[in-house]
């Protein structure tokens, strides 16, 4: 038995859990639909408000109809009571309550009243059929004397009022034949006998209850029909408004994807038509401005490319002359020899700037192609370190590599990835203020991550996005150790984008900066979760080295 109850309890709990889960899913789906669909919100809101209005209106109508029915019934019953009292007074005029024939006279009066509850044609009176009761409750009589059935149904409170000589009425429900019936009890004193009697007329309210039930069912059915009609009307009206908005949204989406000739159809002269006209004018203006910007961008890229190419010829000549002077600097005075060295350094920076300008112009033109091969990125990181090692030693910074023991293979363009890491390391050395620079590499099944961490001046709020802008510098007054052109990080971002990855930055003043490169391990595969955090775990700046190792 215990096993049976335990099994039943588990089954009930399982069913309840399924019901709760199903209800939660439905609630989530409805919440999503509510959030996304204006039409659903309008229809549901209309139904809710209409339900409240219909409920209030139905209650008011029901109360009004009930009050009118009961008022009419009571007025007719009181009139019938006055007529019945007059009849009883005639029938019981001068009768002695304590005489032996009183009960017969009392029964005769009740029969007279019962026969008068219907007219000669057999139809009921205005107030309807009633049950008459005449009773005497007074002193000198052991028990109450009454004629007419169901005297015990008369409420005690009503009897008290009638015994005090007042006409009174009361609605009460009694049990008759196993069924509950509601009556309107009207009582009045009869004074024609030698002692006061009480007359009670019982008017059944069955017809009024049936009428009220019909009214209630009519109101309920009518209210439901009205709600359905209101929901349909609200749905139709909302669709007339929402449909043009949806068409406008679809047109805007297609326009945003590059279909600049997309326009809305203008039908009529109403507000929706004005919206379509305004949208079309806006789209035409945006299209014109986009065309202008494209032409301007093409002219700018062409100008940059042409200038870069044109500068290469005179730069080659100046380079040859500078190399000759630099080779003979030992024969020059000290000041002239130093000027020759500065000239060569600036020519190197100028050549680097021209190369970056040509590269950025090709990236802007979209003519760059990705030559991706499966490569161990650890070797790329070591080559990038070797290319900036001398600069790091001159700046007093040590570059630390944290590479995984397993091969970190990925489908990448080795030249571009090495340029990204070289730019990140050079940037870290420039802003590291002699602190060590740490390069970390990690990977998972889908994503490879490289972070370059420095402990220098860091980045102020908002500069993490600006740092990748072209020619942007947080502090133009700072001296550069690498002689950068200001385009390295901008080119690095484009190189990462070509691989389907991204380049991000984090930094805080006094805590240094951290740059993270994320790359998919396979092309045409989306990035997964990064194996390295953007905000590093170590926020304490490392101590600068006393000597370069």
Which percentage of the chain shows pLDDT scores above 70? Answer: 81
Q: In 37-155, where does DSSP find H-type helix?
A: 38-91, 102-116
Q: Give pLDDT, residue 112.
A: 76
The answer for residues whose C-beta is within 8 angstroms of residue 107's C-beta and 6 or more apart is 147
- Per-residue pLDDT, averaged over 159-186, amounts to 84
Q: Give pLDDT, residue 309.
A: 66
Q: Give pLDDT, residue 439.
A: 93
Q: Give pLDDT, residue 458.
A: 84
Give the residue, 457 or 103, on which the prediction is more confident: 457
Whether 217 has a pLDDT exceeding 60, the answer reads yes
The answer for residues whose C-beta is within 8 angstroms of residue 421's C-beta and 6 or more apart is 380, 381, 384, 439, 450, 452, 517
**CB burial readout 283-302, b (16+ within 10 A) else e:** beeeeeeeeeeeeeeeeebe
CATH code of the region 370-520: 3.30.565.10
Query: Ranked by mean pLDDT, which of 345-349, 350-354, 392-396, 530-534 comes out on top?
Result: 530-534
Task: Classify 486 in phi/psi space as left (phi over 0), alpha (psi -120 to 50) or beta.
Answer: left
Q: Exposed/middle/buried for 398, CB within 10 Å: 0-12, 13-18, 19+? A: buried
Domain boundary assignment for the chain = 37-255, 263-368, 370-520
What is the distance between the alpha carbons of residues 155 and 159, in angstroms, rounded to a whole number?
6
- Per-residue pLDDT, averaged over 7-18, amounts to 73
Lowest model confidence (mean pLDDT) among 107-116, 393-402, 467-476, 540-549: 540-549
Whether 120 has a pLDDT exceeding 50, the answer reads no
Whether 30 has a pLDDT exceeding 80, the answer reads no
How is residue 209 written in tokens? Answer: 């209850």
Whether 475 has a pLDDT exceeding 70, the answer reads no
What average pLDDT does the structure give for the chain?
79
Q: Give pLDDT, residue 362.
A: 66
User: What's the pLDDT band for 517 if we cut at 50, 70, 90?
Assistant: very high
Domain 263-368 has CATH 1.10.287.130: yes
- Nearest 10 degrees: Cα torsion 272, 278, 283, 286: -150
Q: Give pLDDT, residue 440.
A: 92
Give the residue, 273 or 360, on which the prediction is more confident: 273
8 A C-beta contact, residue 484 and residue 427: yes
- Per-residue pLDDT, averaged over 249-276, amounts to 79
Q: Give pLDDT, residue 548.
A: 33
State the residue for tokens 């002269």. Answer: 269
Q: For residue range 74-91, list pLDDT tens digits in order.
A: 888 888 888 888 888 887
Q: Give pLDDT, residue 6.
A: 63
């Amino acid at each position: 038995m215990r096993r049976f109850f335990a099994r039943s309890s588990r089954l009930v709990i399982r069913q309840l859990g399924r019901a709760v889960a199903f209800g939660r899913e439905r609630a989530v789906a409805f919440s999503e639909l509510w959030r996304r669909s204006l039409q659903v919100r309008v229809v549901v809101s209309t139904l809710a408000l209409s339900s409240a209005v219909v409920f209030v209106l139905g209650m008011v109508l029901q109360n009004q109809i009930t009050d009118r029915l009961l008022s009419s019934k009571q007025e007719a019953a009181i009139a019938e009571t006055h007529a019945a009292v007059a009849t009883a007074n005639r029938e019981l005029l001068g009768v002695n309550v304590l005489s032996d024939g009183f009960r017969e006279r009392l029964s005769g009066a009740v029969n007279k009243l019962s026969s008068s509850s219907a007219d000669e044609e057999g139809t009921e009176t205005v107030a309807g059929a009633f049950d008459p009761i005449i009773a005497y409750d007074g002193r000198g009589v052991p028990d109450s004397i009454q004629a007419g059935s169901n005297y015990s149904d008369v409420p005690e409170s009503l009897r008290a009022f009638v015994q005090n000589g007042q006409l009174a009425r009361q609605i009460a429900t009694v049990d008759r034949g196993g069924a509950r019936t509601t009556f309107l009890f009207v009582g009045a004193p009869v004074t024609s006998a030698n002692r006061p009697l009480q007359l009670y007329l019982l008017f059944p309210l069955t017809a009024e209850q049936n009428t009220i039930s019909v009214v209630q069912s009519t109101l309920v059915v009518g209210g439901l029909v009205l709600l359905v009609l209101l929901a349909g009307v609200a749905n139709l009206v909302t669709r007339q408004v929402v449909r043009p908005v949806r068409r406008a949204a679809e047109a805007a989406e297609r326009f945003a994807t590059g279909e600049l000739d997309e326009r809305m159809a203008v039908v009529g002269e109403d507000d929706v038509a004005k919206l379509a006209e305004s949208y079309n004018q806006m789209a035409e203006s945006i299209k014109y401005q986009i065309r202008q910007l494209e032409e301007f961008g093409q002219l700018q890229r062409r100008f940059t490319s042409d200038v870069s190419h044109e500068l290469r010829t005179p730069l080659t000549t100046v380079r040859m002359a500078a190399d000759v002077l630099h080779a003979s600097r030992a024969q020059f005075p000290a000041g002239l020899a130093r000027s020759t060295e500065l000239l060569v350094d600036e020519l190197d920076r100028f050549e680097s700037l021209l190369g970056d300008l040509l590269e950025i112009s090709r990236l802007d033109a979209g003519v760059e192609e990705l030559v991706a091969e499966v490569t161990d990125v650890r070797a790329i990181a070591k080559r990038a370190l070797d290319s900036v090692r001398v600069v790091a030693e001159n700046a007093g910074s040590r570059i630390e590599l944290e590479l995984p023991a397993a091969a970190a293979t990925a489908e990448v363009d080795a030249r571009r990835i090495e340029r990204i890491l070289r730019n990140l390391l050079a940037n870290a050395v420039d802003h590291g203020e002699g602190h060590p620079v740490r390069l970390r590499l990690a990977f998972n099944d889908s994503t490879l991550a490289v972070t370059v961490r420095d402990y220098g001046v860091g980045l102020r709020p908002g500069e993490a996005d600006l740092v990748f802008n072209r020619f942007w510098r947080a502090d133009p007054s700072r001296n550069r150790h690498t002689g950068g052109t200001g385009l390295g990080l901008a080119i690095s971002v484009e190189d990462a984008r070509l691989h389907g990855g991204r380049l991000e930055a984090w930094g805080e003043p006094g805590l240094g900066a951290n740059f993270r490169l994320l790359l998919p391990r396979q092309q045409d595969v989306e990035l997964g979760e990064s194996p390295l955090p953007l905000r590093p775990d170590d926020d304490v700046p490392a101590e600068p080295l006393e000597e370069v190792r």
